[in-house]
Amino acid sequence: MEKIKFMADSPADIPDEDLIRYKIDMPKVPITIDGEGCFERESFTIQEFYEIIEKSNEIPATSRVPTHDFLDCYRRAYDEGYNVIIAVTINALGSGTNASAHEAKRAFFEEIPGAQEKIKIHIVDSGTYSVGYGYPVIQAAKMAEDGKTSREILDYLEDWFAGVDIYLGCYTLKYAKRSGRITAAAAFVGDMLGLRPIILMRDGTTKIAERVRGDKQLAPGVYQHYLKTRVSRDAPVLVVHGVNKEPARELRALIERETGRSVPMYAIGASICINSGPEIVALICHSKKRR
């Protein structure tokens, strides 16, 4: 029988209770804050980071998860008797973490040659961010509990990542400006005019899907994009909040009123917050399969 270990790096924003419940390993992203090194989800809580980023003199910087952290996870899973590892990483186009996972895989089998007959390591590039890949890892762990095979689980993950969309609404452009995601001039003009961007994250890339005028139009604007691109009313949909939960609650209420079902809500973590800022509202849904 297969004994499957799941791994997802810390930008997956999987809640602690799910990490514990499904024994999901989470290698941590290193973050430098005003010259001091620390680790996401280890050195501070998500709520504490919202305050840290507001007070920091320079925008914090992330690094890829170190290769040895993945290697330690592989060793531990092997020692604990797992015969399948499924490691899902943040978008490889935006981070070197996926490369670290592959480097660790090579190092692991060089260190323990006989392990190749005893354990399989599957590394999945999610091509997305936050609970856009954290959520399906949780669902995959549930599938394993229900007796699904690793092949069935990998097929599910492939299908999810082939059609997942994130619509990210930012209430301020200052973090995007500081991180270099958009030009300083565009950030200045946007703020002066009261424009708020809705950013589409799709297939490993980001682009501005729309600009709405004023804070009050942001959550409804994100909702309209959801209505236009979702696969069906029954397809999974998630809402993500930052430091202020009210816009996310407003967005969730719109979706629940339209679909008649409960919508889970998650907090955005440090890695994404560094580029978007803590003042956001986001929606994650499944649209038409593209890859």
The domain boundary, picked from 161, 195, 214, lies at 161
Residue 94, amino acid: G
Q: Does any domain span residue 269?
A: yes
A 10 A CB-CB count for 280 gives 24
pLDDT the model gives residue 275: 84
Tokens 């200045």, residue located: 188
Q: Does any domain span residue 49?
A: no
Q: Does any domain span residue 228?
A: yes
Instruction: Give the distance from CA 70 to its chain's centroid.
Output: 18
Judgement on whether residues 104 and 188 belong to the same structural domain of the protein:
no
Tokens 């399969």, residue located: 289
Question: Which domain CATH number covers 155?
Answer: 3.40.50.10440
The domain boundary, picked from 131, 161, 191, lies at 161
pLDDT the model gives residue 291: 60
pLDDT the model gives residue 182: 62
| Closest to 119 in 3D by CA, of 85, 144, 89, 150 | 85
Q: Does any domain span residue 34?
A: no
Judgement on whether residues 12 and 77 belong to the same structural domain of the protein:
yes
| Closest to 289 in 3D by CA, of 144, 127, 141 | 127
Judgement on whether residues 202 and 275 belong to the same structural domain of the protein:
yes
Q: How far apart are CA 85 and CA 120, in angstroms?
A: 6
**What token pair was written down for 24?**
């999901």
| pTM for this model (two decimals) | 0.93
Q: Does any domain span residue 37?
A: no
Judgement on whether residues 206 and 260 belong to the same structural domain of the protein:
yes
The strand pair at 237-241 and 265-267 is best described as parallel
Judgement on whether residues 180 and 266 belong to the same structural domain of the protein:
yes
Judgement on whether residues 69 and 156 belong to the same structural domain of the protein:
yes
Judgement on whether residues 156 and 225 belong to the same structural domain of the protein:
no
**What token pair was written down for 85?**
């590892």
Q: What domain range is 18 assigned to?
A: 4-29+64-161
Judgement on whether residues 183 and 281 belong to the same structural domain of the protein:
yes
- Residue 199 pairs in a beta bridge with 168, 208
Q: Does any domain span residue 117?
A: yes
pLDDT the model gives residue 255: 97
Judgement on whether residues 236 and 209 belong to the same structural domain of the protein:
yes
| Closest to 274 in 3D by CA, of 96, 49, 41 | 49
Q: How far apart are CA 27 and CA 32, in angstroms?
A: 16
Judgement on whether residues 146 and 208 belong to the same structural domain of the protein:
no
Judgement on whether residues 174 and 258 belong to the same structural domain of the protein:
yes
Q: Does any domain span residue 50?
A: no
Q: Does any domain span residue 45?
A: no
Tokens 């979702």, residue located: 230
- The number of domains in the chain is 2
- Series of mean pLDDT values for 10-residue runs along the chain (291 residues): 97 97 98 95 93 90 96 98 98 95 98 95 97 98 98 97 94 74 63 85 88 94 94 93 97 96 96 90 87 60
Tokens 């400006």, residue located: 177
E strands present in 146-277: 164-170, 195-202, 205-213, 237-241, 265-267
pLDDT the model gives residue 207: 86
Q: How far apart are CA 272 and CA 151, in angstroms?
A: 30
Q: How far apart are CA 25 and CA 7, in angstroms?
A: 5
The domain boundary, picked from 161, 177, 209, lies at 161
Judgement on whether residues 205 and 123 belong to the same structural domain of the protein:
no
Residue 234 CA: distances (Å) to CA of 46, 116, 230, 287, 288 = 30, 41, 9, 12, 14
Residue 132 CA: distances (Å) to CA of 3, 106, 126, 190, 237 = 25, 27, 8, 27, 10
Residue 52, amino acid: I
Question: Which domain CATH number covers 282?
Answer: 3.30.1180.10
Find out whether 124 and 82 touch, Cβ atoms under 8 Å: no
